[in-house]
Amino acid sequence: MATIAILGTMDTKGEEHAFVAQQIQKRGHKTLVIDLGILSDPKLKPDVTRDEVLAEAGVQLAELLAKKDRGEAVAAMSKGAPVVLAKLAAGRRIDGVISLGGGGGTAMATAAMRALPIGFPKLMVSTLASGNTAQYIGVKDIVMFPSIVDVSGINRISRQILARAAGAICGMVEAQPETGEDKPVIVASMFGNTTVCVQHAQKILEEAGYEVLVFHATGIGGRTMESLIETGLVAGVLDLTTTEWADELVGGFLGAGPARLEAAARAGIPAVVAPGCLDMVNFHAPETVPQKFAGRNFYQHNPQVTLMRTTPAENAELGKIIAVKLNLSKGPVSVLLPLKGISVISAPGQKFHDPAADDSLFQSLKAALRKDIEVIEMDCAINDVEFAEACARKLLKHLKPPLETP
């Protein structure tokens, strides 16, 4: 029997949360109700009151009621709820969490869910689940469940949606993954244009006894990888696809934020870094490319993705940025440069082949990099076997026992 947290505004959405609680209890699980409402008395009796949630945010309920500022109330609950939920999870008092809400409810509940570790069951039934949910999910595994109709009463539509949402969270807490042998973890960044390289390096690292987690360098992938590094669970980093910095700098849609490349450096995690796919900036369909880029070198990756070649000037700036981030490194780090191409389409004879642009990147990076950080230049393209093997072997040398390096 598991205990599932029911998190939400128990004044305006109390009836709906009560229905979900009943459905969960019918399946043999317990519920623990956490109230985030402030407008009126809760319609579902909470196990954790709104006062207790606000106390974790250092706010008094009376103060909020006096101000009558809904935005401030949402902000206060969004600050207190993550602390409450994290404490309950850490104390093993709950095994999963579900919430129902509109805009404010979704913001508060998902803020709390993002405080929970990856793998902890979390489900948000939301009126916003069919749109852009990136700001609610962040880098966590929150399941967004469309409410279809507003969360406002139990009717022929909401009854089906909420009953199945309750069944879904029950299934999530009941589905315990099999535990395997825990191996030291290495994280790696990959793009379609560096797949051959990363997969070959991955094979070498796995044969050496490591578990390799590969993240797609699509913005959210880079942020998720950085987040995992920050947890302390990562032994080494194979960051061969730093392309997200090109989007971050130039204005593509796959930027990973200004902290990309910092987590391993600040934590002293052994790392090998390459400038994979810094030759490209990602836009959507051709008509979405800003007019200021007219006349640039483009490559149609697919109908939804248009790639734009970075210029020597942009690459010079990218080299400085990468160097600044790596200069933060407290642990062993090496930079490997594939001189004949940093992606499939920048290799000789390909659409983005531009030796001058690549050289601008390489020279800028080397000039700005700390002198004690190793730079290895290789006369090959990034997807050549010898480059992948060099990256993997170098990371293995950086890694310390318990594993022996070949």
**Percentage of the chain surpassing pLDDT 90?**
87
Q: What is the pLDDT of residues 296-310, one digit of tens each?
A: 999 998 889 999 999
The single residue listed with the structure tokens 């401030």 is 72
What's the chain's average pLDDT?
Answer: 94
Q: Give residue 24's pLDDT.
A: 98
- Per-residue confidence band for 401, with pLDDT thresholds at 50, 70 and 90: low
Q: What is the pLDDT of residues 55-88, one digit of tens each?
A: 999 988 888 778 777 888 889 999 999 999 999 9
Q: Give residue 405's pLDDT.
A: 40
| Positions of E strands within 330-371 | 333-338
Q: What is the pLDDT of residues 77-127, one digit of tens each?
A: 999 999 999 999 999 999 999 999 999 999 999 999 999 998 999 999 999
> Does this chain's domain 3-174 share its CATH topology with 185-398?
yes
Q: How far is CA 174 from CA 3, 153, 161, 181, 189, in A?
A: 11, 28, 20, 22, 32
Residue 406 reports pLDDT greater than 50: no
Inter-helix orientation angle 14-26/156-174, to 10°: 50
Render 10-50 in DSSP notation, one character per residue.
Answer: TTTSHHHHHHHHHHHHHTT-EEEEEE---SS--SS--SB-H
CATH 3.30.470.20 fits 3-174, yes or no: no
**Percentage of the chain surpassing pLDDT 70?**
98
Task: Count other Cβ atoms within 10 Å, centred on residue 290.
Answer: 10
Q: What is the pLDDT averaged over residues 141-148?
A: 95
Q: What is the pLDDT of residues 242-260, one digit of tens each?
A: 999 999 999 999 999 999 9
- Measured between alpha carbons, how far is 303 from 284 in angstroms, rounded to an integer? 8
Residue 402 reports pLDDT greater than 60: no
Output the CATH code of domain 185-398. 3.40.50.12030
Domain boundaries, the chain: 3-174, 185-398
Q: Are 71 and 38 in contact (CB under 8 A)?
A: no
Q: How far is CA 20 from CA 76, 97, 113, 136, 401, in A?
A: 25, 11, 18, 21, 49
Q: What is the pLDDT of residues 199-240, one digit of tens each?
A: 999 999 999 999 999 999 999 999 999 999 998 899 999 999
Which helix (H) or strand (E) covers residue 269, if one does?
A: none
Q: What is the pLDDT of residues 9-62, one digit of tens each?
A: 999 999 999 999 999 999 999 999 999 998 889 999 999 999 999 999 998 888
Which helix (H) or strand (E) covers residue 170, if one does?
A: helix 156-174
Using CB atoms within 10 A of its CB, is residue 232 exposed (0-12), middle (13-18) or buried (19+)? exposed
